[in-house]
Chains A and B, each alone.
Chain A
């Protein structure tokens, strides 16, 4: 199960499991969101490298216009994954 939505402009919510099967859906959704965004990961249980790729792609898009991705309410497990992959050096990560 994976859900992604943007209840208000500039904010995206992800819930469930962002794996290789769901990554294309997340990627298409984020491609369509314009401007700076904050992604709330409080409901994200699981992320694989395919999901990390989606976040990296969005961050690179934002970087071209001087922006940066921001993720908030990161659970400990997902936080570890970000740390091991060095993503905590790339964009702002705020733990839950």
Chain B
């Protein structure tokens, strides 16, 4: 423990003079640049000297944990007390000096420290260190005044000393905190640079498709990422968001992106890559961390987008034919939550001409304005509808502008990531022609419904000038798919929904079957049309021919609902 070297001074005015000089000297010293622990030593030393104490201690308040830690003397096992606990705790809590002339007579005195050190405390003076704005800084405690107990004059001088010290300590503490923050910011900025350097510099150039990406990181926070790259003739799309802020999420996001790229370059399937990357992230991430991820492939020949979306949603599909936005939920829980051995089939969406698909981070949907209102889905849907005829670059810009206008000055708290893609619209319809026509039909699960289906679809095609040459192929596909649904799902009574939409040069047809098991017609064994008659049977022929006759075909299974969409246009058949 520190102890004062000077003996008690005889004369009162000399003593006062000495004390004031010593406080001035301390003030001067504390004004010099010091490290915090050096300053603490100065304060305690001056306290012992000015108040003629044999020993003393210095305590600092830790606001984040709401405890008071003894900083001097430095003990092998650090001592902390709660605010309000013991003499130190009470002194800090009340901001009042506590003068105890006989410690062992005061029940608030804790003799445990004496027992540990062998020091015997007689008298005690606890002085609160109070900073600007009445901020708690700590407590200076002085023990055993030479030649008696601490008196009122001591209390007054102690308060003066404490006031000078507290302001200097407060300033030093904020410098320390600022430096730590600055160092952390620099590290985060560095991590962000690493992350940004892995984002694609150029977007894939693919016939019929227009892509745009927007990435607006929040200041030194967030862990969003995206990737958009052509792999083996398809466009790989990744949008991810790691939980938390700072270096760790930025690195997790980058790690995930790198793993996916390598997996796909090595020829892994979408399902395999998803399972393995997820399981690796489970191993690597802390228990309370995870990432959301949209992982998809766009096939620009078949115009299908198939994806897994681990906690990333809503996903937006603008259907040009209906001039409407569909919001799709994630397909699964986030990456890194728990290990998985298998995964359901990817979702599959058919992009018709003029359709837009958008993967947008929650930094957009959950952007809060000054009134505490969120940007939400409706505003986004309206923007997409308003910009359906513009380039995706313009749509991206419009979303970012709309967010800024919506915010009304509210800070951006999360990264903003926008990946938008549009299949080229029909050039004939770019003059602002209205939306395509739609027909919907609900059918009982009975083959006899075919007559009604044919009557309705033909009337629709007639009315909207769909070229006659494709009618038989469309009829064929609808009949085969409808009959399959009726035949293979006998346990359900739900109606089968059939809708037909005009698309340039033809139609797009969707069949929706509820409450059924999964059945992707494309997974049926192909029919060998070269076999002799004795080995042929009609099974499977319908689906086989349907896939040959239509231009595009997609199957999606979700919530026990099968959705099949195909399109047929007047172009020559591909046989």
Contacts and interface: CB of A to CB of B under 8 A. Distances in A.
Interface of A: 17, 19-21, 45-46, 48-50, 52-53, 56, 59-60, 63, 77, 80-81, 83-86, 89-91
Interface of B: 447-448, 450-451, 454, 472-473, 475-476, 479-480, 483, 527-534, 536-538, 541-542, 544-545, 548-549, 573, 575
Contacts of A17: 454
Contact of B538 (A53, A81, A89, A91): A53
A91 B533 CA distance: 9
Contact of A21 (B447, B528, B531, B541): B447
Contact of A60 (B483, B530, B534): B534
A85 B472 contact: no
A80 B573 CA distance: 10
B472 A49 contact: no
Given A20-B447, A49-B480, A85-B527, 15 more contacts: A17-B454, A20-B479, A21-B447, A48-B479, A48-B483, A49-B538, A49-B541, A50-B538, A63-B533, A63-B534, A77-B472, A80-B573, A83-B575, A84-B545, A85-B529
Contact of A52 (B451, B530, B538, B548): B538
Nearest to A78: B472
Contacts of A90: 532-533, 536
B119 to A, nearest CB: 100
B479 A89 contact: no
A3 to B, nearest CB: 15
Chain B interface, DSSP helix/strand/loop, else mixed: helix
Contacts of A59: 533
Given A50-B538, A89-B529, A89-B530, A81 B451 contact: no
Nearest to B469: A77
B548 A84 contact: yes
B529 A86 contact: yes
Contacts, number: 73
A70 B483 CA distance: 28
Contact of B537 (A56, A63, A80): A56
B447 A84 contact: no
B575 A84 contact: yes
A90 B534 CA distance: 10
Contacts of B548: 84
A69 B527 CA distance: 21
Q: Closest 7 interchain pairs by CB?
A: A86-B529, A53-B538, A49-B542, A49-B541, A90-B533, A48-B479, A77-B472
Given A56-B533, A56-B536, A84-B575, A21 B451 contact: yes
A48 B451 contact: no
A20 to B, nearest CB: 5
Contacts of B541: 49, 52-53, 85
Given A52-B538, A56-B533, A80-B573, A45 B472 contact: yes
Contact of A20 (B483, B529, B536, B573): B483
Contacts of A56: 533, 536-538
B212 to A, nearest CB: 41
Contacts of B451: 21
Contacts of A84: 529, 545, 548-549, 575
Nearest to A57: B538
A64 B48 CA distance: 120
A20 B450 contact: yes
A67 B374 CA distance: 76
Given A48-B479, A80-B573, A86-B530, A21 B448 contact: yes
Contact of B480 (A46, A48, A83, A86): A48
